[in-house]
Structure 1
Amino acid sequence: MILSLIAAVDDSLGLGFENDLLWKNKEDLAFFKQHTNNKVCIMGRKTYESIGSPLKGRINIVLTSDKTYNPHPNALVRHNLSEVLHEFRNVPELVCIGGEQLYTTLLPLADRLYLTKVHHTFSQVDTHFPTIDEDEWSEYFYKQGTEKSKYKYTFHVYSRKAN
């Protein structure tokens, strides 16, 4: 199984504010869909609640410590990350879509990163992506964003370097 993380970050690795993304962009949404469709997606409870419903065309896993949490019949609720990694060990790719706590926990285990970099620093940010040690990663995909937007942005895909 390949363990991937996907996120859109600003120049300070900001992810969101008050349980919402810092920006919305059709081309970024297409990048997200391209790399999550037909895959198993794991997310924290707050991320799931910010989306509001299960993502179509994906297996949605919501990780929460709340044993009574029951969001939607099409979302699988799990309470233990190790069990999730074991349960889905035979899928081709498991993609973490957030939030901050889950990114921080999974980054040391991740094989691949899909990042949209928004070339701006937002003033109101309360969640961040963890710092990436660039010595551990190789960029193998880069694309300049083309949609007219207030901020320039780029798409990147990284794979973890072999030890």
Structure 2
Amino acid sequence: MEAQRPEAVGEPAEPGLDLSAPARRRGGTAHGQGPVLAVVAIGGAIGASARYGASLAWPVAPDGFPWPTLLVNAVGCAVIGVFMVLITEVWAAHRLVRPFFGTGVLGGFTTFSTYAVDIQRLVSGGHVRTGLAYLALTLFAALAAVWSAAWTTRRLMAWRRS
């Protein structure tokens, strides 16, 4: 069975990305994927460096609760909530802003892999309840952060317009 391409089902892989234009698919124009890949890579390096800096500034003992990762993920999700409201509902952003900041910087800053390793470290170290609490708390904090940041940003933008 052949896998369906996004354009075959009528939805782009990324909002605003038109895969039906052959020149874009090949990357043969200035509007190709090369600039997108470049800004994602640069943004990712910036975000990952910031996360690494946070881990150096706030080290965690081997059996300690991974507060820095939880905080980084919650802050990153809050910033994603603000950012997505601003660029989708308030301002028209350049086509490279979202891949640079959203996918690159914030994708590099937030970390599912460290979250998973922290849970595995806690559980294998005999701290099963702490690992499960961390699993649930991070999920709750991330969802609450993105929702509350988006909600607050919408309210502030509405208040500013009135």
TM-score category, normalised to shorter length: under 0.3
TM-score normalised by length of structure 2: 0.22
Q: TM-score with structure 1 length normalisation?
A: 0.22
Which is helix-richer, 1 or 2?
Answer: 2
Higher radius of gyration, 1 or 2: 2
Higher strand share: 1
